[in-house]
């Protein structure tokens, strides 16, 4: 199984190499790494040039934000399965893609996901929050459950059938996409009970109070648009995060 890993980056030279190295260290023999840069000016392109021979594609041009960049990557992907590793994040170990390939060896499974650890931006070995996703059931969506998007890998055919990210969302297009896939799309999903990704704190959705308010608004719109739930679902979605700060 060929797996396409797409990394979107814009002016993030400080952590990009960590993300790329964690992909290149994978023991799965068949993958491609696609990097979509939004026209960085901070030295990110210098980092990319050092890896040019090991990257399947490098695109550097202005875009309309991270979701536009990810859509570009989806269109370029040639793998059987597609997933994303943001430039702030890294795979938990060298076996992640092998675990994903094993989960998707069952032709009846359309996508898979695993657990996620949030780590300090300046101390990536220090875990702040542990997102143990648990097995999926369709009724969980209305209770605010969702899989950690950075760990989510779906067959390319799923994107061809159901589409990519809606650019009308500035922060929550990943949530909208997951609701579309799991709700109306009714894809079959497998849970991998292992930590797959380490995610640095400080992403767009939690960078400021304004962004948190914007994300809640967009989450609510995604719930209504996908006919999954409303304010109660949004409340439960946020409350489910609290135990993640205490459980390991």
Confidence of residue 206 (pLDDT cuts 50, 70, 90): low
Identify the DSSP state of 89.
E
For residue 240, pLDDT beyond 90: no
CA distance readout (Å), 169 to 172, 182, 203, 229: 6, 18, 15, 18
- CATH topology (fold) of 3-245: Spore Coat Polysaccharide Biosynthesis Protein SpsA; Chain A (3.90.550)
Q: Is residue 152 predicted with pLDDT exceeding 70?
A: yes
Instruction: Kindly tell me if the per-residue pLDDT of 204 is higher than 70.
Output: no
Are 109 and 157 within 8 A, CB to CB?
no
pLDDT at 7: 98
Average pLDDT in the chain: 94
What is the pLDDT confidence band of residue 247, given thresholds at 50, 70 and 90?
low
pLDDT of residue 210: 82
Strand pairing class (189-200; 111-119) = parallel
CA distance 8 to 31: 17
Backbone angles phi, psi at 166, to 5 degrees: -80, 120
Phi, psi (deg, nearest 5) at residue 11 = 50, 60
* Residue 207 pLDDT greater than 60, yes or no: no
Mean pLDDT of 44-60: 96
Q: Give the pLDDT of residue 241.
A: 86
Binned at pLDDT 50, 70 and 90, residue 235 comes out as: very high
Q: 245 or 56, which is more confident?
A: 56
């Amino acid at each position: 199984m060929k797996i396409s890993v797409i990394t979107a980056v814009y002016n993030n030279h400080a952590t990009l190499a960590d993300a790329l190295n964690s992909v290149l260290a994978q023991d799965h023999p068949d993958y491609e790494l696609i990097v979509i840069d939004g026209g960085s000016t901070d030295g990110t392109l210098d980092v990319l040039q050092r890896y040019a021979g090991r990257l399947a594609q490098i695109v550097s041009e202005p875009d309309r934000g991270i979701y536009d960049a990810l859509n570009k990557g989806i269109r370029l992907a040639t793998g059987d399965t597609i997933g994303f590793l943001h430039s702030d994040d890294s795979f938990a170990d060298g076996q992640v893609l092998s675990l994903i390939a094993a989960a998707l060896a069952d032709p009846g499974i359309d996508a898979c996901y695993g657990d996620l650890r949030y780590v300090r931006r300046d101390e990536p070995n220090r875990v702040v929050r542990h997102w143990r996703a648990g097995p999926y059931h369709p009724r969980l969506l209305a209770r605010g459950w969702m899989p950690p998007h950075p760990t989510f890998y779906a067959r390319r055919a799923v994107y061809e059938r159901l589409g990519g990210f809606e650019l009308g969302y500035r922060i929550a297009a990943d949530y909208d996409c997951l609701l579309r896939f799991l709700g109306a799309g009714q894809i079959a999903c497998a849970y991998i009970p292992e930590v797959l990704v380490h995610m640095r704190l400080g992403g767009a959705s939690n960078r400021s109070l304004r962004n948190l308010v914007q994300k809640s608004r967009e989450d609510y719109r995604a719930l209504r648009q996908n006919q999954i739930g409303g304010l109660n679902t949004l409340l439960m979605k946020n409350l489910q995060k609290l135990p993640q700060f205490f459980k390991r």
